[in-house]
Structure 1
Amino acid sequence: MSDVIENAKRALGLVDLTNLNDDCSAGDITKLTGRTVTDHGSVAAVCVWPRFVAQATRELKGTGVKVATVVNFPAGGEDTGAVIAETRQALADGADEIDLVMAYRAFRDGRKGFAEEQIIRVKAEIPAPAILKVILETGEIGDPLLIHAASNVAIAAGADFIKTSTGKVSVNATLEAAEIMLTAIEETRRENAERVIGFKPAGGIRTSEDAASYLALADRIMGHNWASASTFRFGASGLLDALIDTIEGRTPAAGQGY
């Protein structure tokens, strides 16, 4: 089997199949959940708006596919009470994973403590085995040193994963940001081998080649056996079809969306 096909098979099980389109409907969610189990294995999760969590949970019952949702999305606002209420409702509706947008503007403006406290308070609402992914919005933070610092803030505040982007801004996942974030994760592992932090690049990852590049980066920094569904996810909508095309030997069509 070629490395290209092997990488595509590896990536398929790491996909958070996503629909966060503004016009998403219940019918779109049914189409999304219907794509999760393929002839080549299942994706890791779906990622949907909070209003669709209960539906996605029903439709995925028994598949082993997790349901993720977004809170404080996409603006990364400062109404922590509202974010906590949103989180509680999502968990009550069956969410397995909460993707929280960090208050990145507050962080970028020097209010590190506010951003950290919001994450701490949201994490406190999430009982195991549910997990918290913190979206840094690296394209808006911009500065590499600040991206590294934001990674450390999110990790210290209890993030189970750190995630690059919402997919709603002009610059989303990049390999440069991924390297910074994975380095922060590796530094944490060196300090505390028992602390497991995952990584999720999201936004603009559409081809098998894109996926292979991120996996190669993770292998280089974290070790070849590190990336699994418990430590690595791709946030994407068009990527799944591209991976299946690669596995089945077709020329992939251009992926669309998130």
Structure 2
Amino acid sequence: MDLNSPKAVATAALSCLDLTELGDAATQEATLALVDRAVNDFGSVAAVCIWPRFVAAAHARLGQNSPVRIATVVNFPFGDLPVEEVVGETTRAVGDGADEIDLVIPWKALIAGDEETVRDMIRAVRAAAPAPVTLKTILETGELKDPALIARASDIALEEQADFIKTSTGKVTVNATLEAARIMLEVIQRSGKAVGFKPAGGIRTVDDARAYFALCEEVLGAGWVSPGTFRFGASGLLGDILATLEDRSPSTRQGEAY
């Protein structure tokens, strides 16, 4: 990827985007409008990330041969539901057509030193969503705060067969940061596993995307980034991607809602 080319960065960001609608007041109408924006003249996003209750409708809207995957969230956003309830959420979502499950780990338990609760949750959801379903684990790094704890959460997720590690829900004060991203990418590098990374929350511009791509290339090498290994969780990034690809001036991008 040519990181000096805004269009090259925008094209790569589009292909790696999990276009997200997880607002507290989200409706089926708004969710399907999001689904309709997932394919455009420049290609398609990697996935739409939506509430479980809208998965079946999104699946029907996209059809069988769509390039766009359906991701949904479980144990979201607080990470403190009982395992049995989260397994139920997962089973229903997969049955409704979800291709990817984004699981909030019990991060409060991890802060308290209880690793087994975290392992039990990931293990149970992995069993309920076996391959080819993609399992992404949301670590809520802005709440973990301690670099050692972020690294430990990443290690546990990888040990329990997560396919991706994801920074955040987008629902807390501090979401994706480059500092947390570096820690997580270094864990992936040390593991030697084919595991993906997803920063989420607060990523709004092509310049933001460029910074994450550059970090990935620094830690994991040129060519590592692809939709199979990297995703952005964002609702606002699509607007700047399309503005960049359409050669619209920065002043015309302001106020767009995606």
Structure 1 contact 206–255 (Cα < 8 Å) conserved: no
Task: Give 2:235's aligned residue.
Answer: 237
1:138 aligns with one of 133, 141, 146: 141
**What is the CA deviation profile of residues 28-60 of structure 1, one whole-angstrom value per residue up to 9, with x for unaligned ones?**
012101101111110000000000000111111
Deviation at 1:127, TM superposition (A): 2.2
Deviation at 1:248, TM superposition (A): 1.4
SS at match of 1:18: strand
SS at match of 1:17: strand
TM score, norm. by length of structure 2? 0.95
Task: Give 2:157's aligned residue.
Answer: 154
- The one-letter amino acid paired with 1:26 is Q
Q: Which 4+ residue blocks in structure 1 deviate beyond 3 angstroms?
A: 254-258
Structure 2 contact 239–256 (Cα < 8 Å) conserved: no
Please list every run of 5 or more consecutive structure 2 residues that lacks an aligned counterpart in the other structure.
none
TM score, norm. by length of structure 1? 0.95
Measure, in 2, the Cα distance between the counterparts of 1:129 and 1:247: 32
Structure 1 contact 148–184 (Cα < 8 Å) conserved: yes
Task: Give 2:5's aligned residue.
Answer: 3
SS at match of 1:134: strand
Measure, in 1, the Cα distance between the counterparts of 2:135 and 2:11: 26
Task: Give 2:216's aligned residue.
Answer: 218
Identity %: 51
Measure, in 1, the Cα distance between the counterparts of 2:69 and 2:236: 19
Task: Give 1:174's aligned residue.
Answer: 177
Measure, in 1, the Cα distance between the counterparts of 2:6 and 2:257: 23
Measure, in 1, the Cα distance between the counterparts of 2:170 and 2:155: 22
* 2:203 aligned with 1:205: yes
**What is the CA deviation profile of residues 85-129 of structure 1, one whole-angstrom value per residue up to 9, with x for unaligned ones?**
000000000000000000000001100111111101110111221
RMSD, matched Cα: 1.5
**What is the CA deviation profile of residues 130-172 of structure 1, one whole-angstrom value per residue up to 9, with x for unaligned ones?**
1100000000000011101110011111110000000000000
- The one-letter amino acid paired with 1:19 is E
What does residue range 19-38 of structure 1 map to in structure 2 within 5 Å?
Answer: 19-38=21-40
- The one-letter amino acid paired with 2:211 is S
1:75 aligns with one of 75, 78, 84: 78
- The one-letter amino acid paired with 2:244 is T
Measure, in 1, the Cα distance between the counterparts of 2:57 and 2:255: 25
Task: Give 1:42's aligned residue.
Answer: 44
Structure 2 contact 17–232 (Cα < 8 Å) conserved: yes
Deviation at 1:255, TM superposition (A): 7.4
Measure, in 2, the Cα distance between the counterparts of 1:40 and 1:85: 37
Measure, in 2, the Cα distance between the counterparts of 1:176 and 1:214: 10
What does residue range 39-118 of structure 1 map to in structure 2 within 5 Å?
Answer: 39-61=41-63, 62-118=65-121
**What is the total number of aligned residue pairs between the two structures?**
253
Deviation at 1:256, TM superposition (A): 7.7
Measure, in 2, the Cα distance between the counterparts of 1:176 and 1:48: 27
Structure 1 contact 207–255 (Cα < 8 Å) conserved: no
